[in-house]
Amino acid sequence: MAPRPLAHASGQSRRAAPRPDTHRRPRLAGRVTSALVAQLAGVLAAAFFSSAHAAEPLKVGVLAPITGATAADGARLLKAHQLAVNEINSAGGIAGLGGAKVELLIADTQSKPEVGRHAAERLIARDEVSALLGAWASAVTMPSMQVAERYRTPFIVTSAVTDSITERNLQFVFRVSPKGSWAARDVGSFINYLRGKGVTIDKVALAYEDGPFGQAVSKGYKKGLPAQGIHIVGEETFRTGSPDMSTQAAKLKATGADLLLIVCYVDDEVVLLRALAAQRYKPMVLGYGGGHVHPTLLQLGPMVDGAFGIVEWMPDLKKTATEQFAKAYKAAYGEMPLSNAAQAYAATWAIALAADAARSRDPVKLRDSLRTLRLDKGPASLLPNEALDFDAAGQNNVGNVISQVIDGRFVTIWPEAVAGQSLRLAH
């Protein structure tokens, strides 16, 4: 279903009320009855209620790490949420709610699960939001979404990839990003694509952070890649925020792997790649998600030249909605968006369009509307699938793309149908 405009055309005007005729003597002058007074009072009360209700915003709670270990990612999420809200509100608001504006209520999770859980409860119980969006990390998202389920309030997960998020038979949880295990399917296809180009990949090793995020993606790799004939020869784990990974780097070098699959946040990947360089070990690298396709990584220069990344979205995808979003985001903030920003933007538009279709702010009606939403055109269709469309479990069926660092930039090189540039192989 293509999204219809959220507000009616501004050229439509209300019919003007007739001006009073001052030359006529009121027929009921001096004879106003109590019944008429009551009737007029009811009309005025109804008009006032209708006006007040129309002006009431659609309140949407946003859970994001404004402080803490992943605060930089939280800042990008908020920029994308706000960009979508600015576009919706400047176009006249939500038509199905009488032109109501979208209002974001933002809560800092501090990158901590317990803080996120309390923030979710406060947004729903005290601030009475109609829906929640967030919350970046899987470890924070999972306790927060349990709160939303208990309060029967829709929660659109923007970026967390732990598979179980949409495998618990929860009725109010939706996710725009892919499951972490789906990376194995796409990485396997890409490895075979490289082999078809004459690249030797006989042995693969894994390096991942030991939280829910890293465990979910690596579990998918360990299950899915051998089934595609790809041999995993070793794996190393580490805690997020580890200052030294020289031990892991030495063990990875000993595997002799041709390709190293990394799953972690950007600061950890920087530490790991420097440790690998110190070991004079430079396999092909394929990082995961926004933690890899990140401006910080480019500061490593030659260490990341030619490195690949599997990611949920790229700003050079050959899609109209992607091009428009990337242009608007850069114009607003002076930088190009990352995948988590695209997901936050899509989720914000999705909840607004669900409210428009439902003509309601009621959380249960919004949940029902999200279940039937199919967005194959317009701003919410910017992700790399045919349409933003939630299945019965609340999962958007969206895949990944592969990026490569070429000339100091991340560019999409696979699948070729949406690639911004051709693959570059080392000589």
Q: CA quadruple 191, 341, 290, 331: dihedral positive or negative?
A: positive
Lowest mean per-residue pLDDT among 46-60, 66-80, 332-346: 46-60
Q: What pLDDT is stored for residue 49 in this prediction?
A: 45
Q: What pLDDT is stored for residue 374 in this prediction?
A: 97
Choice between 265 and 11, residue whose per-residue pLDDT is larger: 265
**Using CA atoms, how far apart are residues 5 and 53, in angstroms rounded to an integer?**
20
CA 388 to chain centre: 12
Query: Residue 57's closest CA among 355, 393, 260, 385?
Result: 355
Say which residue the tokens 């360990």 belong to.
Answer: 222
**Using CA atoms, how far apart are residues 246 and 327, in angstroms rounded to an integer?**
41
Q: What is the pTM of this model?
A: 0.79
Determine which helix (DSSP H) or strand (DSSP E) holds 209, and give its type and residue range. strand 203-209
For 99, the token pair is: 């032109």
Question: pLDDT tens across 271-300, in order?
Answer: 999 999 999 999 999 999 878 988 899 999
For 190, the token pair is: 């890409």
Q: What pLDDT is stored for residue 420 in this prediction?
A: 86
Query: Residue 309's closest CA among 259, 369, 367?
Result: 259
Q: Is 244 exposed, middle or buried (0-12, 13-18, 19+ CB in 10 A)?
A: exposed
Q: What pLDDT is stored for residue 27 in this prediction?
A: 35
Residue 203's contacts (CB-CB under 8 Å, 6 or more residues apart) are 231, 233, 255, 256, 257, 258, 259
Q: What pLDDT is stored for residue 426 in this prediction?
A: 77
pLDDT of residue 10 exceeding 50, the answer is no
**Using CA atoms, how far apart are residues 348 and 380, in angstroms rounded to an integer?**
8
pLDDT of residue 311 exceeding 60, the answer is yes
For the residues 31-52, what does the mean pLDDT come to? 43
Q: Collapse the DSSP code of 145 into the 3-class scheme (helix H, G, I; strand E, B; otherwise coil) and give the result.
A: helix
pLDDT of residue 331 exceeding 90, the answer is yes
Mean pLDDT of the chain: 88
For the residues 375-395, what does the mean pLDDT come to? 96
Q: For residue 146, name the pLDDT band (cuts at 50, 70, 90).
A: very high
